[in-house]
Amino acid sequence: MPELVTTARRTGAAYLGLALTGMAGHLVLTSQLAVPGDPTATLARLQESPAIAQLALVMELLVVISQALAAWGFFALFRRDHLVAAFGVAAFGLANAIAILGSAGFLATALAVSTDSTLAPGGDAAATVGLLYALSAAAWRAGAVFFGLWLVPMGIFAVSTRRMPRVLGWVLIAGGIGYVMSALLAIEPALAPFGEALAYLATIGELWIVGYLLSVGIRAPRPTVAA
């Protein structure tokens, strides 16, 4: 049991790292560089602030690393009690990590094009950088499907084993479904605000499970009652 609590807290630390690097990189740094609908302005920002672009790329890679470590940690934590849930969390988590790794590749290429326009098809560096940033954003939207899906087996584990609060499990399941729906609704700009609202429940579940893993870890297994 002490070993599992240690695993739970390490998993919680990786999950917290995922949240912090995602906010710092994708929501803060990358948004400072990308100007939707204006690739010329995006290229100018890249050329004016290469250090911010490099830091954004580092944060993107840290998202991939922390996501992979969290997926590994959840598998180690869940596999003894619910192998199917353990596999689901690990598989969906790694799929999301691969999607974000693709985004990191697009950002790295955009940074290279901003310093060497000969890398751009036809020498049009602005159009190339604009396309690469659009592809990066698309990779994040696609990855959101798996980020929602990985919450579902996480919640199933909590509900079925009761080694975490059952209410937490239901919140994670509902939040995961909402996150997947938000990714689907984002395809239509008019429906995107409704999708963002659905993602809020997932945020509640994520903050709750990160706090639970770091503070409590995991409950002891329920005693078996003899027939």
pLDDT tens-digit map of 11-60: 999 999 999 999 999 889 988 899 888 999 999 999 999 999 999 999 99
Q: What is the dihedral of CA 176, 62, 23, 129, to 10 degrees?
A: -100
Q: How far apart are CA 61 and CA 74, in angstroms?
A: 20
- Answer whether residue 220 is part of any domain: no
Q: Which domain holds residue 142?
A: 2-215
Q: Identify the band that residue 194 occupies on the pLDDT scale cut at 50, 70 and 90.
A: confident
Judge residue 143's burial from the number of C-beta atoms within 10 Å of its C-beta, 0-12 exposed, 13-18 middle, 19 or more buried: buried
b/e code 191-224 from CB counts within 10 Å (16+ = b): eeeebeebbebbeebbebbbebbbeebbbeeeee
- Percent of the chain past pLDDT 90, that is, above it, reads 71
Model pTM score = 0.89
If one counts the domains in the chain, the total is 1
From residue 153, alpha-carbon distances to 4, 74, 164 in Å are: 18, 10, 13
Residue 225 has pLDDT above 70, yes or no: no
- Answer whether residue 226 is part of any domain: no
- Answer whether residue 174 is part of any domain: yes
- Answer whether residue 225 is part of any domain: no
